[in-house]
Amino acid sequence: MVKDWIPISHDNYKQVQGPFYHGTKAN
């Protein structure tokens, strides 16, 4: 699953809710 590479916390969600949210590392 997508969550494998990063734990989606409340703070992390703000960073990953962009185009990186679906499977790509938000880096």
Name the DSSP letter for residue 13.
H
Q: 16: domain range? A: 1-26
pLDDT of 14 reads: 66
Query: What is the pLDDT at residue 23?
Result: 59
User: CB of 24 within 8 A of CB of 2?
Assistant: no
- pTM for the whole thing? 0.18
Rounded Cα–Cα distance for residues 9 and 27 (Å): 15
For residue range 1-27, list pLDDT tens digits in order: 565 666 666 676 666 666 555 555 555
Number of structural domains in the chain: 1
